[in-house]
Structure 1
C-alpha cells in the first residue's frame, strides 16, 4: 500500500519535527570529522567518516558495510525488505574540500556552529555543511524517521556514499561496474544540487558535461632577454593568447571548432518559458556577481547560456615572470588551463580532438605544443515525462508550498553519467542547497530550513516514489 496521503505521512513528518535537535546533533558529529579527500594527511579521517556513516546506517536497520577501494573507502547499505514498489539507489559523498584560506573563516571549519541570522532564521556553518554532509544527512534522517515510525521503508533502498568526489572520484565508476548486480536499481537519487531562492524546490534535469585540457606551447629553448631577442623570437604567451581567443567568434559568441554544435538542440519552448520566469532579466541573473550583460552566444539569455548551451572557457594562464617587481623576459613557454562545458549531443572525445587540431593548425614554425587531459564527461538529461520525476515534483511541491520546477545546471556532476554508464539508470537530482551556501569557500553554510525541510522532503519523495 502506498503512503503518499497526508494521513500516512503525518506521523512520520511529526517525528522529523520532534527529533530535529537529535538529527542536528548527529550532523554536527559528522561535520567534526575533517574528511578532506585531497590531502593525504586526512586519509584516516576519510575512513573515520565512512565508518561513522556505516554505523549510523546500521543503527537505522540497513545492511551497511565499508568497502575498500584503491583510494578512500565507499559506504554501501541496503534495505530490501519492502515487498513491492520500486528500488532506489541514493548517492552522496562524505569527503569535503580543503579549508584554505583558514584566516577567512569566522569560526573553526570543523567546529560546526548554529548561527542565528538577523531575521530569526538559522544557518549551520562548517566545512561540508552543504557539500555534501548536510545533504546526505537529510536522506539518512528521513530513513531514520520512516523506520522508527513505521518499522519499515515504503520501498527498497540502496545507498552508496563515496569519499573521493572532491578529489576527482577516480574509483567510483570502476566500483559501480564491479558491483553492478548488487547496486542496480530502478532510479538513482542524487542529493548534490540546489533549490531556487525563495524556497522554490527544484529538480535538476539537465547537467552539462565537461572537457578539461592543459595546453603548453614551447618556442625558444630557454627564456630570453626581451631587449636582445624581442621581435625576432616568437613570444609563446602572445601566440597562446591569440590561439585561444580564436576559439570563439567575437561577433556571434559561438565556438568555431568544426562539428562543435553537431547534435546540440534547444530545449522545448515551454522549458525556455519556465526558465524565463525564473530569471526574467540578464541583469538580475548576473547582478549578484557584479555583471549585467551576457558574454556568450547572441540570441540566448544568460540563464540559457549557462544551462543549455555549450561553452569554452580559459581558466588560467601562466608564462614568463609574474613575481614582484619587473623582469624583461621573453619566456620559452606558456601554458593555459581551458575547459569546455558540454550539452546533450556532444561527444567529449570529439570536442577534445577538435580543440587540439585547432591549436596545432595555428602553430607557426619552430613551435611545439603539449596537451594533458583533465577529465571528460558527457552531459546528462533526465526525461521530462517519467513517472518518477512527476511523483517527486509533486512531493516537493507539497512540502514547500510552491510548485516544484525543473531546472538546468551549468555545472557537471560526473556521477550522473557514470550511474547511467555502469548501471543503466536515470537519476533524479534533488537537493536543498542554496546559491549563497559558499560551498568550496570559507564559511560554508547550510540553512537550518534546508536541513529540516530536506528531511521532510525525502520522507514525502520516498512515499511518492513507492506509489509511482
Structure 2
C-alpha cells in the first residue's frame, strides 16, 4: 500500500465525506449564546462518535463552558512522531439572518463562478477545515489499517467566544496534550490555489483612555475660546501618534523588537499571487495608506500598527447641542510583531499620551488590560519544509510561508503552556465570508485539503 492508494481512497470517498460534513454543519453550535449550549454538546458528541468510528479513542471533556473533545491514537512503532491536531467546532452567530440566501444551518451545495461550494455557517470556520484532517485519517486508516504516527485530536468549543476555558484546560491536562508539534487548520491560503503555511501571527495590545477637562459639560457660548475642549485635545493627541510624512508610529520605543523580513520569505511573498490592487479596491481604497517603504503584505504580516478603533464624546443625538464636553474617549489597539513586548509598549503609549496633555487636561486609563505577543514559527524545523513540499506536490505550485495580520491566541498558549511549536495550514479562501452571512467553503478546498493532510502525514513520517 502507498500514498497513492490513500489519495485514491480520498477521491472515491469524497461524496460521503461531504455528507458527513453536512451533518456536522446542521448542528447550530454557537458558543457565545447560552441558548445553544445543548447544540454545542451535540456537536462534541458527534465528533466523539465520528472519531470512534475510525478506531480513535475519544472523549467529551467538561469545562465550565463548552466541552472539549480529546482523542488519541498510538503509532505502531516507537520512533514515530507525535502530532497534536487542533480545530474548533463552535461557530459564530448568524445575524443578520435576512442577508442569508439559504438557512445557515441547512447547508447546501452551490455552483458559483469560482466552482462548487458548500454553503452554511461553520463550513469554512472551522468545521470544514477540521474535517479535512479527520477525513485524511479516515482514508489512511481504511487503506493501511493504522495511522502513520501518534496523533492527539484536540477540538475546542469556545474559540468564537474568547476561549475562556482553554488555558485552564491546557494547564490541567498538559502532560496528556504534549506532543512534538501542533497542527492548526484555522487559516486561509494567501491567494486562491496557492498553498500556504502561516509562519507568523501578529500579537495584540488593547487600551482605552478618557481625556478629562472641565468639571461638567459647558455652554460653548460662555466658555468657547478660553475653555479647554477635551475633544479637541483628544484629536491633537491622536494626530501625535503618527509621523504624517512616513506613516510610522511616532511613539518613542514603539519599534523595539521589530525585525526585518528575511530575503527568502520576501521572495515567496512577492511570488505568491497576491493582487494588491484587488485587495485594496475590494474595500474602496485606491491606494495603500500605511507605512512607507513596505509592501502591502509586509505591512499586513510583518509590521506593527497602532489603530484608533473608536472616538467619542459630547453630544451625538439629532440636531445640535452647543456644549464643550467634560470628557472625550478613545479606544486603541496595536498589532504586534517580532519580539515586541505588550507590557512595555503599553507603558510607552501611556507615557506618550501623558506627555501631550495641556494644562487643565487629565487622562483616565482603562484597567481592563489585554495584550499578547506575536507568534513566530520556527520554519527551520524539518517538519515545516516537509509539509511545504507535500503541499507543493498536491497543489502543483510552490507552497509559501506566509504571515497573518490577525491573531490566533491558541498558538501562543500551545507555546507558553505546552511548549509546543505550531504549524498552521489552512485551505480557506478570502471570499469565504467567515463570520458573515452566506459563509461557504470551496469543494476544492475541502477535497484538496484532505489530500494535502494525507501527503503531510506521509512526509512527516518518512
TM range (shorter): over 0.9
Tell me how far apart the structure 1 counterparts of residues 312 and 187 of structure 2 sit (CA, whole Å).
33
Shift of 1:187: 0.6
Tell me how far apart the structure 1 counterparts of residues 107 and 220 of structure 2 sit (CA, whole Å).
53
Shift of 1:291: 1.8
Written as runs of structure 1 = structure 2, the 5 A alignment for 1:301-380 is 301-364=295-358, 365-373=360-368, 375-380=370-375
Q: Does the CA-based 8 Å contact 1:217-1:370 persist in structure 2?
A: no
Partner of 1:437: 432
Tell me how far apart the structure 2 counterparts of residues 317 and 184 of structure 1 sit (CA, whole Å).
44
**Runs in 1 of length 4+ with deviation above 4 angstroms?**
279-282
Partner of 1:36: 30
Range that drifts further, 88-97 or 264-273: 264-273
Shift of 1:321: 2.8
Q: Does the CA-based 8 Å contact 1:124-1:446 persist in structure 2?
A: yes
What is the aligned-residue RMSD (CA, Å)?
A: 1.9
Tell me how far apart the structure 2 counterparts of residues 291 and 192 of structure 1 sit (CA, whole Å).
28
Equivalent position to 1:390, from 377, 385, 407: 385
Classify the secondary structure of the residue corresponding to 2:307.
Answer: strand
TM-score by length of 1: 0.93
Tell me how far apart the structure 1 counterparts of residues 365 and 236 of structure 2 sit (CA, whole Å).
17
TM-score by length of 2: 0.94
Tell me how far apart the structure 1 counterparts of residues 212 and 67 of structure 2 sit (CA, whole Å).
41
**1:56 counterpart = 2:50:** yes
Tell me how far apart the structure 2 counterparts of residues 77 and 225 of structure 1 sit (CA, whole Å).
66
Equivalent position to 2:414, from 410, 414, 419: 419
Question: Cα distance 1:52–1:250, how it changes in 2: closer, same or farther (>3 A)?
Answer: same
Shift of 1:268: 1.1
**1:12 counterpart = 2:14:** no
Written as runs of structure 1 = structure 2, the 5 A alignment for 1:44-443 is 44-83=38-77, 84-118=79-113, 121-278=115-272, 282-364=276-358, 365-373=360-368, 375-443=370-438
Shift of 1:37: 1.6
Q: Does the CA-based 8 Å contact 2:272-2:400 persist in structure 1?
A: no
Shift of 1:374: 5.4
Range that drifts further, 224-233 or 139-148: 224-233
Q: Does the CA-based 8 Å contact 1:215-1:372 persist in structure 2?
A: no
* Deviations, residues 313-358 of structure 1 (Å, cap 9, x unaligned): 1122232333344333433322222110111111111112212222
Range that drifts further, 225-234 or 288-297: 225-234
Tell me how far apart the structure 1 counterparts of residues 127 and 361 of structure 2 sit (CA, whole Å).
52
Shift of 1:204: 0.7
Tell me how far apart the structure 1 counterparts of residues 351 and 169 of structure 2 sit (CA, whole Å).
34
Question: Cα distance 1:244–1:193, how it changes in 2: closer, same or farther (>3 A)?
Answer: same
Tell me how far apart the structure 2 counterparts of residues 223 and 212 of structure 1 sit (CA, whole Å).
28
Shift of 1:285: 4.2
Q: Does the CA-based 8 Å contact 2:269-2:400 persist in structure 1?
A: no
Tell me how far apart the structure 2 counterparts of residues 57 and 280 of structure 1 sit (CA, whole Å).
37
Shift of 1:373: 3.7
Tell me how far apart the structure 2 counterparts of residues 252 and 325 of structure 1 sit (CA, whole Å).
38
Range that drifts further, 346-355 or 240-249: 240-249
* Deviations, residues 102-137 of structure 1 (Å, cap 9, x unaligned): 221111111111111146x21111111111111011
Question: Cα distance 1:320–1:40, how it changes in 2: closer, same or farther (>3 A)?
Answer: farther
Question: Cα distance 1:33–1:226, how it changes in 2: closer, same or farther (>3 A)?
Answer: farther
Q: Does the CA-based 8 Å contact 1:211-1:339 persist in structure 2?
A: yes
Q: Does the CA-based 8 Å contact 2:247-2:292 persist in structure 1?
A: yes
**Between Structure 1 and Structure 2, how many residues are aligned?**
460
Q: Does the CA-based 8 Å contact 1:173-1:418 persist in structure 2?
A: yes
Range that drifts further, 213-222 or 45-54: 213-222
Tell me how far apart the structure 2 counterparts of residues 374 and 46 of structure 1 sit (CA, whole Å).
30
Classify the secondary structure of the residue corresponding to 1:252.
Answer: coil
Question: Cα distance 1:114–1:358, how it changes in 2: closer, same or farther (>3 A)?
Answer: same
Shift of 1:466: 1.2
Question: Cα distance 1:38–1:280, how it changes in 2: closer, same or farther (>3 A)?
Answer: closer
* Deviations, residues 134-160 of structure 1 (Å, cap 9, x unaligned): 101111111111112211100000011
Q: Does the CA-based 8 Å contact 2:192-2:429 persist in structure 1?
A: no
Tell me how far apart the structure 1 counterparts of residues 133 and 165 of structure 2 sit (CA, whole Å).
23
What stretches of structure 2 of length at least 5 have no aligned partner? none
Partner of 1:3: none
Equivalent position to 1:23, from 8, 17, 20: 17
